[in-house]
Amino acid sequence: MTYKVLTEEQVEHFIERGWVKLEGAFAREDALEAQDFLWTEVEKRSGVRKDDRATWTEPLVQINENYLTPAFARCNTKRLGDAIEDLIGHGRWANRTVYGETERLGGFGWWPVNFSLNADQPWTVPINGWHWDGIHFKHFVDSPEQGLLCLCLFSDITHQGGGTFIVEGSHKVVARFLEGHPEGLELGEAIGKLNREHPYLRELTGADRGKDSEAGDIYANQYAGAPDAKSAEEIAKARLDKFMNNDYIDAGGATLRVLETTGGPGDAILCHPFLYHSSSQNLIGVPRFMCNRTTPLTERLNLQRENEANYSPLEISIRKALGRQ
């Protein structure tokens, strides 16, 4: 199979692990110009001022908007579009139209601008917040609405700087789960059910405590029952060791591990639509600007094509998870 941007190794990484990093998906200078625009939006909505760190008192400023300023429009590059279609199939991105070298795509959004989320807590893997995306549609193993989850970076995101947590290999678990529910499930119902059924996800999300993964404060009740700060630190280290420092191989053969995403302005992390992910803490005090984008498909995924050469890497990844490849 021929790819326009990604290498064979990158595509295989996506198929097996559920994500691939595309460095320089769009120009760093365009990303930073777009970030300047976002600062003006942050300032409109809060008391935060870019040039006055004393005003950075809110841990997170949420901007539920999509933007397509000239800088954002330049971030819709052919390189990014071709890399996305390397994974979902060329000509299968519903929103993509190319005129010469010019992309015609939607805006970028939404924006949870992370200044210092849970900076007062020990660094660890959260219990709350774990999910895959798609609250706006009913989920089937071949659903076309999501395509990919694209994490687009507009600031430098380093270790402990608020980069999204992902669970490598979790796309395989979700694929098997959804195949077992041909009637389709709403997102919340699906996540809650799978969290309770799967041993690794049950412990990761706190479902073994009789609760489902929740949005909002991702560290709420994280250290419930810990009598002091030392005990909380021990709990934090134990979760890091279990979920980030060691692989877990489930009964279906999926290798699972939590990973912290990092990168710089202009990078994009292309994730499988079934990949579990969650917010993370920002302990370094550098505001994190990034957004998630979808790439809806022109038609449902086809997991039983007559010509095997026509399978996209996205379809291959699901077929392999289901034991068909």
Q: What residue has token string 């949420």?
A: 62
Report how far residue 287's alpha carbon sits from residue 115's, in angstroms, rounded to the nearest whole number: 4
Report how far residue 207's alpha carbon sits from residue 181's, in angstroms, rounded to the nearest whole number: 20
Other residues' Cβ atoms within 10 Å of the Cβ of residue 247? 9
HSE, CB side, 13 Å, CA atoms: give it for residue 242.
14
Give me the CATH topology for the region 8-321: Jelly Rolls (2.60.120)
pLDDT of residue 39: 98
pLDDT, one tens digit for every residue, the chain (325 residues): 789 999 999 999 999 999 999 999 999 999 999 999 999 999 999 989 999 999 999 999 999 999 999 999 999 999 999 999 999 999 999 988 765 555 667 899 999 999 999 999 999 999 999 999 999 999 999 999 999 999 999 999 999 999 999 999 999 999 999 999 999 999 999 999 999 999 999 999 999 877 655 555 666 667 666 666 668 889 899 999 999 999 999 999 999 999 999 999 999 999 999 999 999 999 999 999 999 999 999 999 999 999 999 999 999 999 999 999 7
Collapse the DSSP code of 191 into the 3-class scheme (helix H, G, I; strand E, B; otherwise coil) and give the result: helix
Q: Answer yes or no: are the C-beta atoms of 25 and 83 closer than 8 Å.
A: yes
List the domain boundaries for the chain.
8-321
pLDDT of residue 230: 66
Report how far residue 300's alpha carbon sits from residue 316's, in angstroms, rounded to the nearest whole number: 14
Please name which of 215, 133, 125, 144 lies closest in space to residue 174, comparing C-alpha atoms: 133
Query: Which pTM does this prediction carry?
Result: 0.94
